[in-house]
Amino acid sequence: MSVTIPSPASPPVSDSRTFARAVQDLRDGFGHRELWLELGWQDIKQRYRRSVIGPFWITIATGVMAAALGLLWSVLLNANLRVLLPQVTVGLIMWNFIQSSILDGSEVFIKNEGLIKQLPSPLSVHVYRLVWRQVLFLLHNIAIYVVVILIFPPPHWTLSMLLAFPALGLLILNSGWVSMFFGILATRYRDIAPLLVALTQLLFYATPVVWSLDTVPKSHGNSERARIVEINPLYHYLEIVRAPMIGREQHLYHWLIVIGCTMVGWAATLLLMKQYRSRVAYWV
């Protein structure tokens, strides 16, 4: 009678660096909705503790800046204030959201060092918390847009203006990968955060936030040279939201570029999570 000798068990292979674990982290983090929804709300309450107006200080500051820049540019460029002010207002509101996603995202894990080390939760919880907080600020600032659009309504109210809702959803979706991507990189390399501050300041002037290609003087070919702005992907992110919100003609290529950037951004983020997600707790 033959005796079968069992072979020694092979050592378990760690699956911490797999795309499945990275996706599972995002799923588990979203499942902790009660946690990050409450933490995001507490962030706002703590930031404006003992303040009478609270987060509406940001709304007031954005509204004053939009009004000042709208008046200034309408005089300098001899542009119609009725057209320029809604454009500047929406541009500033969306830029604040984009900029906060980049800059706050680069410090999302560093600022949550205590929770990461003490609270056993998915890494994405802190990103969802940040995105939720930025959405709350965005909703506060939307009040400025409502006031401006009531004073300077678009020439025609069309159903295409409803595209602003999926555009906002796409912007929020991008905020998730931006915060996670730069959060992991800036936690490992601390020089990235101040570098992003300088970069976003430069991009503010290079992106038509408070100006547009239509307001560039057409003499000496300036209008054609200004088309180089379209190389900047942030321009397309602004346009898919701003165009429907102010009743302006929309172009399909803006949507295609943003969707393409979203897919590439999330793919790069998943790859980064796959490689370094488990090391963040040691880097903070």
Segment-wise mean pLDDT, segments of 10 residues, the chain, 284 residues: 47 64 92 90 80 74 87 80 89 94 94 86 93 92 92 87 94 96 94 94 89 62 64 92 90 94 96 91 88
Task: Name the nearest CA neighbour of 28 among 139, 125, 129.
Answer: 125
Residue 19: CB atoms within 10 A of its CB come to 12
Residue 2 placed within a domain: no
φ, ψ of residue 204 to 5 degrees: the values are -60, -40
The vertex-51 CA angle with 48 and 57, nearest 5°, equals 70
Residue 269 lies in a domain: yes
In this predicted structure, what is the pLDDT of residue 266? 96
At residue 216, the pLDDT reads 59
> Any idea what DSSP says for residue 107?
T
pLDDT of residue 249: 84
Residue 29 lies in a domain: no
Task: Give the total number of structural domains in the chain.
Answer: 1
Tell whether 40 is covered by a domain. Answer: no
pLDDT for position 12 = 45
> Which residues make Cβ contacts (< 8 Å) with residue 115, sequence separation at least 6?
121, 126
Q: Determine the structural domain holding residue 273 and report its residue range.
A: 53-283
pLDDT of residue 211: 77
How far is residue 39's CA from residue 132's CA, in Å, rounded to a whole number? Answer: 9
Q: Name residue, tokens 């992991």.
A: 184
- Residue 76 has a pLDDT of 78
Amino acid 13: pLDDT: 43
pLDDT at 215: 60
Question: Cα–Cα distance between 269 and 95 in angstroms, integer?
Answer: 22
Residue 176 inside a domain? The answer is: yes
Residue 41 domain-assigned (yes or no): no
Per the structure block, which two tokens stand in for 232? 């900047």
Q: Is residue 16 part of a domain?
A: no
Query: How much is the pLDDT for 114?
Result: 86
Is 30 a member of any domain? Answer: no
Helix H or strand E segment including 243: helix 233-245
